[in-house]
Structure formats: C-alpha cells, structure tokens
Amino acid sequence: MITFELGVEDLADLRFAITPIQEAVFSLWALRDPGRYALHLPWLRTVRSALSTKDERALLSLVGPTRALPDFLTPRPTTFAPTFDDELEIVARTPPEVVRRDFVATYAPEPAPVIPSLGDLCDLLRRYWDLALAPIWPQLRLLLEADMTYRARQLATGGARLLFADLHPNVRWRDGRLEIEQMIGKHDVVVSGRGMQLLPAVFAYKPVPPMDPHATPSLSYPCRGAATLWSTPRTDATALKDLVGAAKETLLHLLEEPLATAELARRLRVTPSAVSQHLRVLHATGLITRTRAGRMVLYHRSGLGDRLLGLP
C-alpha cells in the first residue's frame, strides 16, 4: 500500500492538471496488453497498422515486466495544461543518473536492458505522439476536462471524502490519509505543505502514484467516460424522435449525468454551437436543467425529461 498524508493546507492546495506526455506513455500499456484495453481497440488497430515494427519494439521496451514505467518519462506538470513539446523538453533535460535509476527501478528485480540515449528516446516519443496521440488529442482533452469538472463538483459538494469515493476501488480516503491499495511499492508520503496533483488519464487502468516516494506528490487515475471515446451514440426509432427530433432525443439520453456543452459536442462529433441550439430549446421546455460550475455550465436531464423518456 502507498499512502499520502494530507493536512488541511495540502487539501487546500489540491489541484488538477492535464498532461499529454502522460497519455502517450500510459498508452504503451495498451500496446503491451491489448486485452486490458478492449474499449480502445479501434484506436489500437489504427496505431499498430501505422507504427513501424522497430518503433513498436523500442516503445514496448519502456514497459517493465510488472508494467512499471520510468518515472522521468511522466514529469509532473508545472502548469494546468502544458503542451507535449513543453513536457518533452523537460524529459530531454533529465540527468543521466536519473534515467538509469528509473530504468533500474522499472525492471527490478530483473536486470535493466540497454538504456537508449536520451536524444533517441525523445525522438521516439515525438514520432509516437505525432502518429498515435496528436490526431485524437482534442477528443482526449475534452474527456479529461469533463472528468475534472465532475471531480471538482464532488469536492465542492462533499469534500475530500466524496472526491475520492469513486476515484477507483483501490483508492480510499481515511483519517487524513489517501490510501492506494494493491501497489507493488510500499511507502508513506507526508505531503507536508507541498500540495498534491490529481491527473486524470484515459489510458490508466489503475491509480498510478510516482514510484519514487520523494517525488512531487501526485496521483494519476483512470478518467471517467473512456468508453465513450470511440462509440457512436445510438437512438431508438420511437415516437419521441418524431416529437423532439433525433438530436434532442440523443442529448436527453446523454444528460443522465451533468455534462458541459464541449463534452456533449465531443461525444456527438458536432460543433459546440450546434449543441447549444438544441440545449436552449430543451432548457426552455423544462426537459433539462443547467448549473454553473466555475466557468463551465453543466446540463442535466430534469425530472420532466426522465418522464418523457419513460424512466422512473
């Protein structure tokens, strides 16, 4: 078990961030073990058909026998949403002794393989990002932002206990300690005024704290809604469709949970302005409600909308 001890000031400094290089590195788990990532098979097929055998072999060598990854490849973000180039530049400045230390820890207890030069490694990650992640990054980012909006709402309405309640079955908040169970490492981190980052990740299959207990406190966790990335919303040919139209019916089904306009547009693969037109009509007729969460407006199906769909 790995635990983080958070005081009142640490909770006050709890913050979220988006990190593109983390998604690139975590997606190597999907390449390594597609069976765990059945939801991402459409993406996997596209990437594998375009990725050279040499690059795929080199990328998979970054994943250790226990699926560990070198910590230096996922630097903690210093801003809310750094670019991939910003983060790759940080990786490129990693001291050689840290690179070797992290590769040794990744492969332990087995011997570490031949460690590539940092320049070659950064070139490999750049090629992989451009091929596999850059084309879908706008979709991924919208999903990550939707997760953070949901988590911020949980924190605002129920404090830390509610925030961490459904983060992952292996995560538990108890007596000022954030406990992450079923981890290979076993250490207790006293955050002690350093604050803590929460990093949603589309390609994480479990909570991922840093391997190094002395690293900046952070926790990556599986993002909500990953199953919606490659799916196309389905609607039934019913009288409801004739009444409100297919687009508004689909929105009513999606709004079983609070969602922002940008997230709805991403799922429907249309522009936010097109979604806004339908939302205005649904809100004016009382079929949905809207609530402001910071700078975002969240829409949610109302009781009247439930009854229109025949829900209890």
Residue 240: the pLDDT is 60
Q: Do residues 253 and 113 share a domain?
A: no
Residue 35: the pLDDT is 86
Q: Do residues 211 and 66 share a domain?
A: yes
**What average pLDDT does the segment 244-260 reach?**
88
Provide the 8-state DSSP code for 297.
E
Residue with tokens 């980052």: 197
Q: What CA–CA distances, in Å, run from 188 to 2, 97, 130, 181, 295?
A: 6, 24, 38, 12, 36
Structural domain of residue 267, as residue ranges? Answer: 232-308
User: Treating both helix axes as pointing N-terminal to C-terminal, what angle do 246-254 and 261-268 enclose, rounded to 10 degrees?
Assistant: 120
Q: Do residues 258 and 290 share a domain?
A: yes
Determine the length of the chain. 312
Q: What is the pLDDT of residues 121-154, one digit of tens each?
A: 999 999 999 999 999 998 899 899 989 989 988 8
Look at residues 172, 197, 226 and tell me which one is the last residue of a structural domain.
Answer: 226
Report which of residues 244 and 297 the model is more confident about.
Answer: 297
Q: What is the pLDDT of residues 157-173, one digit of tens each?
A: 888 889 999 899 999 99
Look at residues 195, 226, 257 and tell me which one is the last residue of a structural domain.
Answer: 226
Residues 6+ apart with CB under 8 A from 101: none
Q: What is the pLDDT of residues 261-296, one digit of tens each?
A: 999 999 988 999 999 999 999 998 888 999 887 778
Q: Do residues 56 and 197 share a domain?
A: yes
Note the pTM of the prediction, 2 decimals.
0.75
